[in-house]
A = this chain, B = another copy of it.
Amino acid sequence: MDFNLQYAFELLGTYVFAISGALAVRDKEHDVFGAGFTGFITAIGGGSLRDILLGSYPLVWVGDIWVLYAILAGVLTAFVFPSIMLKLRKTMFLFDTLGIALFTVLGVEKALSLGVRPEIAAIMGMFSAVMGGVIRDTLVNEIPILFRKEVYASACLAGAILYLVLNYFGIERDWNLIISGSLIFTIRILAVKYKLSLPRLD
């Protein structure tokens, strides 16, 4: 994949995460600052946690100012066009799903490049994608979506594992990104469409 294309996707994913984060607190007692703050945390939380756990510095958004600008753009979009954004819920959902698919596989890749074992890299990939939302939900005092929603983090974990398996068998990296990301995207879309969920303990 063209490096610039991948980078553009990453910024787009960050932008969409920031929008969804800022909109997530609309029905709560949050002012615009709180909404912006929540958008920010949602967008950077997962990647930051991954890098802190791996001891990889500087954090992505600390080292690359464009990440911050993508977040600001997302928050502003949520502020200026909130009703349009809410009408675009389905489109937003698609982008958000693209975002978690992309962040998972890139997170796995980054962890591997830092020399950790594949099992750890799978966890780090999943964390990259979902922990921003977990931190957001915890801050606004809700049970994290991770625990409630149809197959979500588990889709990421499945994609992360597929990436590692294909990588082990020598599949070319760009194809691997596309195939493994598509698995996450597909599982998540089907889970929402057909309201699939994992069983509970009982």
In this assembly, does A142 line the interface, its C-beta being within 8 Å of a C-beta of chain B? yes
Q: With A25-B147, A52-B52, A120-B62 as known contacts, state yes or no: A32 contacts B134, CB within 8 Å.
A: no
In this assembly, does A77 line the interface, its C-beta being within 8 Å of a C-beta of chain B? no
On whether the beta carbons of B139 and A141 are closer than 8 Å, the reply is no
On whether the beta carbons of B117 and A65 are closer than 8 Å, the reply is yes
CB-CB contacts below 8 Å: A133-188 with B: 134, 138-144, 146-148, 151, 153-154, 157
Option from B55, B61, B148 in Cβ contact (under 8 Å) with A29 = B148
Query: Inside 8 A of A59's CB, which chain B residues have their CB?
Result: 53, 55
State the copy count for this chain.
Answer: 3
Q: With A55-B57, A198-B31 as known contacts, state yes or no: A139 contacts B140, CB within 8 Å.
A: no
Option from B29, B143, B199 in Cβ contact (under 8 Å) with A140 = B143
| Residue ID in chain B nearest A35 by CB atoms | B201
Name A residues whose Cβ lies closer than 8 Å to a Cβ of B.
22-23, 25-26, 28-35, 37-38, 40, 48, 52-55, 57-59, 61-62, 65, 68, 78-79, 82, 116-117, 119-120, 123, 134, 138-144, 146-148, 151, 153-154, 157, 197-202
